[in-house]
Structures are given as C-alpha cells and as structure tokens.
Amino acid sequence: MLTRHLVEAVGTGTDGSIIVNGDRSQKFDSCIVTLPAPRFLEICPALPVEYRQRLGRIDYSHSICVVMRLREPLSPHYWLNIGDPSFPFAVVVEHTNWMSREDYGGQHLVYLSRYVNRCDDEIWNEADGAVAERYCVFLKKIFKNFHEAQILGFDVFRERYTQPIFNTHYSRALPGFATPLANLFLVNTSQFYPHSRCMNTSFQLAREFVSQWRDGETEA
C-alpha cells in the first residue's frame, strides 16, 4: 500500500495495471480514486474525451471554514444556523460542546463555515488576518460577551469542489463506479445523488461500491 506520498498522475500499464506517479511510482492491480471529479480529470489525462466531458458537466460549490481556538466557550449550543445573508458565515459549530475540550488541550473549538459558488468571492481572496477581523465583528453581534482576547488561534481553510450541485438533468452526468480505464474506479461525492452530502451517505456509498465490486457489477 502506498500512503503519505504525493500523487501527480494515474495511468494504465500495458499489462493492465494501474500506475500511480508522484514523488514515487508504483503499480497496482486496481485503483480507487475518491477525489472530486475536476481533480480526477487533472491527474488522469488518459481518460477518453467523452467521459471527460461527462464529468466536466458536474459543477461544485466551494467552501470556507474557519477554525477558532478559544479560552472560553461562545455558548452552550453545539450548532447554530445563521439565516442573515449579510453575515460572512452561515453556521457556528461549537465542537467542544459535543466532544470534550480535554481532547483539545482544554481549548474550546469553534467552526465557522459557509459555501461559496466561485473562487472570486470576496472573502475567498481576503488575507487570513482580514477574515479574522471580519468574523470577529459579526461574532460580537451574536455573542455579546465575545472579545478578541478569547482567541488562542484562528485558521482559515479554503476548499474547492466541496459540494456537487445537482442541477437539472444531473442524472445524465452522474458517473458510475467503473471508469473507461480497466481496473480504475471512481467513488466520490458526485455519486451521492439524490442524497445530501453527509457522513452517512459516504458510508452507504462505500458499502454499495464494495458490494458491486465484489460481485463484479461495477459499471462506468
């Protein structure tokens, strides 16, 4: 098994093996790719044009997630949805109201997250320090006792291709597990349709793939 290594390309050998290239190369009898469709297309140029066009029709929302480490809790609540569109985040998840803060060195962990449609979103391109200042202004509107002195750490994570968008006729682009390349399989969130993106759906999809693979029923 190849772990903790950079993967730059995936291709096929003349003997039907899957060749994974990166900071080292290795052959496998088969390969399961769990990357989002655009990333898969980037690392596997050997995929035929028609299949690439099919995957290319899948659109994604991106996401910004801020992780705050605090000296004190914000509230007694685990999950708070924000319905005001003027706010720069759509949800406040106080993780250590669910898990013990002792698991995190006694710190209180809070996630502030939102989806964005494109990478030209204002906050997407802001410096992390500016994002922190902006978020603190809005946190004070919800939590009157909150102050910047409570912050022990503030990290901003930006991720493309977080949530596939199920547009009209999405089922026409929905990929199967098998790809046009023998022994190369795709299992990712684009196949969740018509269900939402969540851990339960991930487990369900994994079980479905394993069952079909074991029974030889995987199809592109």
Please tell me whether the overall predicted TM-score, pTM, comes out greater than 0.85 for this model.
no
Domain covering 7-58+173-215: architecture: 3-Layer(bba) Sandwich (3.50)
Instruction: Give the residue from 15, 58, 12 showing the smallest Cα distance to 38.
Output: 58
- Residues with Cβ within 8 Å of 122's Cβ and at least 6 positions away in sequence, in order, are none
Q: What band does 143 get if pLDDT is binned at 50, 70 and 90?
A: very high
How many residues are present in the chain? 220
pLDDT for 19 equals 87
pLDDT for 120 equals 62
pLDDT for 219 equals 60
* CATH (one of 3.90.660.20, 3.40.50.300, 3.90.1150.10, 3.90.600.10) for 60-162: 3.90.660.20
pLDDT for 204 equals 93
| Residue 46: alpha-carbon gap to chain centroid | 25
pLDDT for 76 equals 94
Mean pLDDT on 35-45: 95
pLDDT for 7 equals 86
DSSP output for 118-142: STT-TGGGS-HHHHHHHHHHHHHHH
7-58+173-215 and 60-162: same fold?
no
pLDDT for 117 equals 78
Query: Domain ranges in the chain?
Result: 7-58+173-215, 60-162
pLDDT for 65 equals 94
pLDDT per residue as tens digits for the range 149-183: 999 999 999 999 999 999 998 988 899 999 999 99
DSSP 178: B
Q: CA distances (Å), 115 to each of 55, 57, 85, 123, 124, in order? A: 21, 20, 12, 11, 10
